[in-house]
A and B are shown apart, each in its own frame.
Chain A
Amino acid sequence: MAHDIEIIEKTPAEYAYKKRRSDRLMRSQLMMFALMIFMTLISFAAVQAGFSAYFVIPVVLLLAAVQVGLQLYYFMHMSEKGHGLVAFFMYGGILIAFLTVLTFVTIIWW
């Protein structure tokens, strides 16, 4: 039952490329992380400041949506190759869900 395990050695150039790439990824992830914390702070501040609910709720929802996007693209690597189909399914699902909710809001609960 010998199963040949293939060992592939990286060339120095490959190694350097991988390293540069992960450095870049790390930097962008840290920046996004800071940005997301900042947005969370804004949300809390908006609630604390006692603005009108008609202002606060849309702002918080908008920031939440932006955060979901950042999460997907910067932390879950959706921008990288091979995620096209996943993205297609997600956006398809979002579109359908949006239309469904829109219908419910307009013709049942309005």
Chain B
Amino acid sequence: MTTVANSVGQKKGFGATLWDWLTTVDHKKIGILYLIGGGFFFVLGGIEAMLIRLQLLIPNNDFVSAGFFNELITMHGTTMIFLAAMPLLFGFMNAIVPLQIGARDVAFPFINSLGFWMFFFGGLFLNLSWFLDAAPDAGWTSYASLSIASTGHGIDFYAIGLQIAGAGTLMAGINFLVTIINMRAPGMTYMRMPLFTWTTFVASALILFAFPPLTIGIFFLTFDRMFGGNFFDHTMGGNTIIWEHIFWIFGHPEVYILILPAFGIFSEIFSVFSRKRLFGYSAMVFATVLIGFLGFMVWAHHMFTVGLGPTANAIFAVATMAIAVPTGVKIFNWLLTMWGGSIKITTPMLYALGFIPSFVMGGVTGVQQGAAPLDYQLHDSYFIVAHFHYVIVGGVVLAILAATHYWWPKMFGTMLSEKLGKITFWFFFIGFHMTFFLQHFLGLMGMPRRVWTYMDGQGWNLFNLISTIGAILMAIGVIVLIINIIVTTARNERVGNDPWEDGRTLEWAIPSPPPFYNFAQTPLVRGLDTYWIEKQEGHKGYTAAEPVTDIHMPNGSIIPFFMTLGLFIAGFGAMYRVDHSWGLGVLVFGLAFTFLTMAIRSVKDDLGYYVTKDQIRRMERGRD
């Protein structure tokens, strides 16, 4: 039984297993790699957060130094956004979207692997700053005047690390777009795509348009810091405000890149565990696309206090508030999906229920901040910190935790313990509100954002204390989740195709975990909630669109790993070029290495291989 679950079917040694993972182009394995990588950085960012909260536990604390505190907040934000939240979402997108649309893999398996390795090496590069020099310390937004003035190599690590990781993200985004446009099974029209696929699609489109500005901004910063450029230096005719614009032209769409897939995850969960089709499907799709568009027209709401002038502020304020409309449409649709449904409170559903009030609170503070005159009061205070944690933790992180429970059986073939899952939820949910709710009031009382410490007697002590206790509760929740994962994996009780019993979409029609070719026959999609329709008609599995034929599969490749390694080496060269003569050589070597691997990839034909009909029949028979 378990032998079939493995793609190769025999027990392999450690070396062979490692090689398998380094070279894999299978979207399901890359999904798991993203989860491991993202999970690692999530824990790292969490440790940074705990240190921040311990420092703010009591007034006049000197648990960490002021300089180290700046490094902590910068690395916490950067890690959580770029290296934890996004890769974790990518993990689920990779693992699930091809299954939902009835495809055997993504459109560009090679690029998929390249995208993962670039994220991973970029993150590694960024975090090596802790050991090699000092970590970046100008905030995750790295505003130019501050970041150019920062001494040491910290900001260089930020610029180059994010450049590499960002390129990987862009590739992943393009790959998902092409996959969803071109690889849908027969009958899977756009308006039959599950909402998670839809939101992945729109988030990928946002990546396509939002990451190039980030790339350019970071190149400017790199040139200013390492190659004598003056893009942001006003004494040389540059303009420091331009960085803020470029960063937020990327940055605001980025927050929607995070939240849209979260919306998708919850849409699936609400409908499955209310055992009803999603209320207002087409309105949901339309709202998603509209949010995508509006997301590009509001970036200056992060810059109200820069002095753009009343006209610009007014325009951006109105545009910002407009986004609340499609978001509200979504909230009501979720509520109406539950209305009259036969609701089953599983762990994922619990997260979904907790998400609605939490995210609504984040949305409400967002609209408040969107009112430009009020934002003069709120800007750069703890109110902002409360807002974005309500949307990011109350939205994105809850979605990631929900998806972990929801899709774990599909990805790994075992079911996470529901009991431990609920314990995680309650610790995390209560801890989350304890940590961030009072921060709204700290902000209104005048506590500025990103402060290292604060004085006694301002009435901030109690709220900061409660906030830190809340953070500890969240950490306990995460630890319980990790225990849950370990226990479940050790117990290894295999589950069937549809372990929640209420699966509606195609991924639940195939084994958990799916065989490496996903679908023995390409499925025929006959409507929204494909698998639900089949179940209603008493079918087992799905309706096939074709007879069993040979399946064409891509070969694994180590080239993506080496391609990225070259860039990683070149990054060090670019950075140390400033103070060592060998730097230039390393830079050239690294780039040459990458180009060499690209050349090899272009010249060497790799046409993949075929799984024959007989092999497929044998494997499908072996299953049950």
On whether the beta carbons of A93 and B209 are closer than 8 Å, the reply is yes
Complex Cα–Cα for A110 and B209 (A): 25
B293 proximity list for chain A (CB < 8 A): 92, 96
Binding site of B, secondary structure by majority: helix, strand, loop or mixed?
Answer: helix
Interchain CB contact under 8 A, A85 and B241: no
User: B345 an interface residue at 8 Å Cβ cutoff?
Assistant: no
The stretch that binds B, out of A46-54, A62-70, A73-81, A100-108, is A100-108
Contact A1 B181 (CB under 8 A): no
Cβ-defined contact, B249 with A100, below 8 A? yes
Contact with B along A82-110 (1 / 0, CB 8 A): 00010001001100100110011011100
Instruction: Answer yes or no: A3 CB below 8 A from chain B CBs.
Output: yes
Given the contacts A1-B612, A99-B297, A108 and B550 also touching, CB distance less than 8 Å? no
A96: which B residues are within 8 A, CB to CB?
Answer: 209, 293, 296-297
* Distance between A66 CB and nearest chain B CB, rounded to angstroms: 25
One of A89, A99, A104 near B296 (C-beta < 8 A): A99
Instruction: Tell me if B612 and A103 are in contact (CB < 8 A).
Output: no
Residues on the A chain within 8 Å of B300, using CB: 103, 107
Contact A106 B312 (CB under 8 A): yes
User: Given the complex, which residues of A lie within 8 Å of B297, measured CB to CB?
Assistant: 96, 99
B242 interfacial by beta-carbon distance below 8 Å: yes
Asked if A89 and B241 sit within 8 Å, CB to CB, the answer is: no
Q: Which residues of A contact B171 (CB under 8 A)?
A: none
Q: Pick the contact of B245 from A85, A92, A93, A104 — CB < 8 Å?
A: A104
Q: Are B181 and A107 in contact (CB under 8 A)?
A: no
**How far does the alpha carbon of A104 sit from the alpha carbon of B299 in the complex, in Å?**
12
B46 to chain A, nearest CB (A): 35
Q: A107 touching B249 by the CB < 8 A rule?
A: no
Which B180-233 residues have a C-beta within 8 angstroms of A?
181, 205, 208-209
A85 vs B550: C-alpha distance when bound (angstroms)? 31
Inter-chain contacts of A106 with B (CB < 8 A):
312
* Shortest beta-carbon distance from B186 to chain A in Å: 16
Of the candidates A89, A100, A104, A107, the one having the most CB atoms from chain B within 10 angstroms of its own CB is A107
Cross-chain pair count, CB within 8 angstroms: 33
Q: CA of A104 to CA of B244 in the docked complex: distance in angstroms?
A: 12
Interface flags for A33-51 (1: CB within 8 Å of B; 0: not) read 0000000000000000000
With both beta carbons as reference points, the residue of chain A lying nearest to B213 in the complex is identified as A100
Chain A contacts of B16 at CB under 8 A?
none
Q: Is B308 an interface residue (CB 8 A)?
A: yes
A99-B297, A107-B309 known; A85+B181 contact, CB < 8 A: yes
Contact B312 A103 (CB under 8 A): yes
Q: Does B518 contact A (CB under 8 A)?
A: no
B610 on the interface (CB 8 Å rule)?
yes
Q: Which of A1, A3, A99, A107 contacts B308 (CB 8 A)?
A: A107
**What's the least CB distance linking A104 to chain B, in Å?**
7
| CB-nearest residue of chain A to B309 | A107
Cα A93 to Cα B209 with chains together (Å): 7
Contacts of B239 in A (CB 8 A): 108
Point out the residues of chain B lying under 8 angstroms from A93, CB to CB: 209
Name the CB-closest residue of B to A110. B309
Contact A3 to B550, CB < 8 A, known contacts A85-B181, A92-B293, A100-B249: yes
Could you give, for residues 15-30 of chain B, a 1 whenever the CB lies within 8 Å of some chain A CB and a 0 otherwise?
A: 0000000000000000
- Cα separation A93 to B448 with both chains bound (whole Å): 37
Interface residues of B in 586-607 (CB under 8 A from A): none
**A103: chain B residues within 8 A (beta carbon):** 245, 300, 312
Chain B residues within an 8 Å CB radius of A85? 181
Q: How far does the Cβ of B134 sit from chain A's closest Cβ, in whole Å?
A: 32
B550→A89 contact, CB < 8 A: no
Closest residue on chain A to residue B297 by CB atoms: A99
Q: Check if B550 sits within 8 Å of A107, measured CB to CB.
A: no
Chain B 539-576 interface residues, beta-carbon cutoff 8 Å to A? 550
Within the assembled complex, what's the spacing in Å between the Cα atoms of A3 and B608? Answer: 14
Complex: A33 Cα to B205 Cα, angstroms = 33
In angstroms, Cα B249 to Cα A96, docked, is 10
A108 to chain B minimum Cβ distance, whole angstroms, is 7
* B254 nearest CB across to chain A (Å): 15
Whether A107 touches B209, Cβ cut-off 8 Å, given contacts A1-B610, A1-B612, A99-B297, is: no
* CB neighbors of B among A1-43 (8 A): 1, 3
Q: List 11 A-B contacts (CB under 8 A).
A: A3-B550, A89-B205, A93-B209, A99-B296, A99-B297, A100-B249, A100-B296, A107-B300, A107-B308, A108-B241, A108-B245
5 additional A-B residue pairs with CB within 8 Å, beyond A1-B550, A3-B550, A96-B297: A92-B209, A96-B209, A100-B296, A108-B241, A108-B242
